[in-house]
């Protein structure tokens, strides 16, 4: 099937996917038809909700433990994994104290969401959502289970690769990122139009690295995945 | 190298917008300013409602101060107001917020921007989010807003929220059209 790749891209064309990528069918009716308007960055874009949201957030350690935060007393089924990494800006500086929110399927590939009705079992001990704040080094850390692949109706025999959704604020409106983390060696990656929409040179940025130094013996396998956000690129004028 | 974006997908509610979490009620009874309700629909290029979108707002408080380390101007912070709101569209494609009208913020040393709210749109089918702004219809400062002036005149109205007459509270309607006729202006920021 021929893929139409649209020309409208937000930000860095070498890194970000285009809005129109016809192999991902839902983009056909939802991608903007008009080019994005270039505008200067004002105080509105250079500030953003990240710091205020972090300040107001009261988190407990359990919020970052998806194996237990369903609070049923039981533990989620599946391969226990540690997912950790640093949130950095494009200068390589850490982004401390920023909120990281994740969501994912259970081990069988089912979301705890009323719109996911494919016949894979639900896990009564798994919600599939977690959050934490990055520490002073910009490090986030989650304990979860490896998500399963799930089928979707984009094209015949379509399956999303195993993935974890990530949402981050960062310091500015322009830092805001929603993305997906994939796992190394997944044969479904090369068949997935959502991942393939990312330009080839940047696609590897979405794939976690197995990290034996993070793996804890008799406990959990470790994956490392660093996330690079746009920082505040300019200082607004002093008033 | 920046981390590329991916779509938010259709199941984000379990993490970002749980039913009844009240993230779209941004103002408390004690929050300073003119209370406004903002409501609208998200439509796709076929005119169909987008029932699985996520809308986020970011705005200054009624004094025109952002709750953010970069904004250290001598204006009060409102302890009951962060300036952030989030709402998932419902089965009709509708979102709503209760907030206060933001005060104007500066554009540069000389000029102010008109009161506005930064709007971010996420959805299945959007590989990257979209950023736009909401301005208020009955606001005289719109005529001199430096960002609005950059928008082609014929498309400017897509950024102006319309006053809803006859509503019991001060209400503005702001629809977002992702594609096609009357497509909302989105910014490259």
Take residue B57 and report the two structure tokens written for it: 């707002």
Mean of the per-residue pLDDT values for chain B? 97
> A111–B14: do the CB atoms touch at under 8 Å?
yes
Based on the structure, what is the number of domains in chain A? 2
Alpha helices in chain A (DSSP H): 27-30, 43-46, 50-56, 193-196, 200-203
In a domain, A169, yes or no: yes
What is the pLDDT at residue B62? 98
In a domain, residue A46? The reply is no
A23 and A72: one domain?
A: no
Query: Does some domain include residue A235?
Result: no
Task: Assess contact for B97 and B83: CB atoms under 8 A.
Answer: no
Is the same domain home to A156 and A221? yes
Q: Are B147 and B113 in contact (CB under 8 A)?
A: yes
**Residue A236 located in a structural domain:** no
The answer to whether A39 contacts B120, with C-beta atoms less than 8 Å apart, is no
Judging contacts by C-beta atoms under 8 Å, the chain B residues touching residue A199 are 4
Q: State the average pLDDT over residues B129-136.
A: 98
CB nearest B84 (choices: A24, A52, A90): A52
The verdict on residue A239 lying in a domain is no
Select the residue of A31, A174, A195 nearest B179 (Cβ to Cβ).
A31
Interface test with A, best of B8, B10, B11 (most A CBs within 10 A): B11
Contacts (Cβ under 8 Å, ≥6 apart) of A21: A3, A4, A5, A6, A27, A193, A196, A197, B127
Per-residue pLDDT of chain A (239 residues; tens, 9 = 90+): 689 999 999 878 899 999 999 999 999 999 999 999 999 999 999 999 999 999 999 999 999 999 999 999 999 999 999 999 999 999 999 999 999 999 999 999 999 999 999 999 999 999 999 999 999 999 999 999 999 999 999 999 999 999 999 999 999 999 999 999 999 999 999 999 999 999 999 999 999 999 999 999 999 999 999 999 998 665 544 33
**Is the domain of A162 the same as that of A86?**
yes
**So what's the architecture of B13-177 in CATH?**
Sandwich (2.60)
For residue B97, pLDDT beyond 80:
yes
The pLDDT assigned to A238 comes to 37
> Does residue B170 register a pLDDT over 50?
yes
| Residues on chain A touching B45 (C-beta within 8 angstroms) | 28-31, 33
Q: Are residues A22 and A80 in the same domain?
A: no
- Residue A237's pLDDT is 45
Q: Which 3 state secondary structure label does DSSP give A5?
A: strand
Record the tokens describing residue B123, joined without a space: 């959805």
Same-domain status, A180 and A109: yes
- Residues near A155 by beta carbon (within 8 Å), at least 6 away in sequence: A1, A23, A25, A193
Strands ordered across the beta sheet of A163-168: A129-133, A99-103, A163-168, A177-182
- Residue at A172 is within a domain: yes
Q: Would A222 be classed as within a structural domain? A: yes
User: Of the candidates B168, B134, B175, which has an alpha carbon nearest to the alpha carbon of residue B35?
Assistant: B168
State the average pLDDT over residues B118-144: 97
pTM of the complete model: 0.97
pLDDT at B122 over 50: yes
What six digits make up the tokens of B184?
């909302």
Residue A170 lies in a domain: yes
Shared domain check, A157 and A207:
yes
The helix (run of H) or strand (run of E) holding residue B14 is: helix B13-16
Domain that residue A13 falls in = 1-35
Q: A221 with A83: CB under 8 angstroms? A: no
Which of B46, B82, B116 minimises the CB distance to A52? B82
């Amino acid at each position: 099937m021929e893929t139409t790749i649209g020309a409208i891209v937000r930000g860095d064309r070498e890194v970000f996917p285009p809005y129109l990528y016809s192999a991902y069918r839902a983009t056909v009716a939802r991608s903007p038809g008009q080019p994005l308007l270039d505008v200067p960055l004002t105080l509105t874009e250079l500030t953003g909700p990240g710091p205020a949201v972090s300040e107001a957030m009261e988190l407990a350690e359990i919020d970052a433990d998806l194996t237990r935060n369903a609070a049923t007393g039981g533990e989620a089924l599946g391969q226990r994994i540690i997912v950790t990494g640093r949130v950095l800006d494009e200068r390589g500086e850490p982004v401390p104290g920023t909120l990281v929110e994740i969501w994912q399927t259970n081990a069988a590939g089912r979301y705890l969401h009323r719109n996911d009705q494919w016949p894979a079992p639900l896990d009564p001990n798994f919600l599939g959502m977690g959050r934490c704040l990055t520490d002073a080094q910009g490090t986030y850390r989650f304990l979860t289970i490896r998500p399963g692949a799930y089928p979707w109706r984009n094209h015949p025999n379509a399956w999303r690769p195993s993935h974890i959704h990530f949402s981050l604020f960062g310091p500015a409106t322009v830092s805001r990122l929603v993305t997906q983390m994939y796992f190394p060696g997944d044969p479904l990656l090369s068949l997935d139009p959502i991942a393939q929409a990312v330009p080839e040179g940047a696609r590897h940025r979405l794939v976690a690295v197995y990290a034996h130094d993070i793996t804890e013996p008799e406990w959990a396998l470790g994956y490392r995945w660093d996330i690079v956000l746009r920082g505040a690129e300019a200082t607004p004028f002093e008033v | 190298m920046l981390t590329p974006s991916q779509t938010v997908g259709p199941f984000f509610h379990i993490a970002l917008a749980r039913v009844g979490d009240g993230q779209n009620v941004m103002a408390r009874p004690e929050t300073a300013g003119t209370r406004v309700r903002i409501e609208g629909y998200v439509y796709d290029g076929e005119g169909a409602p987008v029932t699985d979108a996520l809308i986020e707002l970011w705005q200054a408080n009624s004094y025109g101060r952002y709750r953010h380390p970069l904004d250290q101007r001598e204006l009060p912070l409102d302890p009951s107001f962060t300036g952030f709101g989030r709402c998932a569209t419902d089965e009709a494609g509708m979102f709503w917020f209760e907030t206060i009208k933001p005060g104007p913020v500066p554009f540069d040393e000389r000029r102010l921007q008109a009161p506005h709210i930064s709007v971010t749109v996420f959805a299945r089918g959007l590989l990257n989010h979209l950023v736009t702004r909401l301005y208020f219809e009955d606001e005289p400062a719109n005529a001199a807003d430096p960002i609005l002036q950059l928008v082609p005149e014929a498309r400017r109205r897509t950024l102006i929220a319309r006053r809803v007459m006859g509503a019991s509270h001060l209400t503005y309607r702001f629809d977002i059209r992702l594609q096609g006729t009357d497509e909302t202006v989105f910014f490259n920021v």
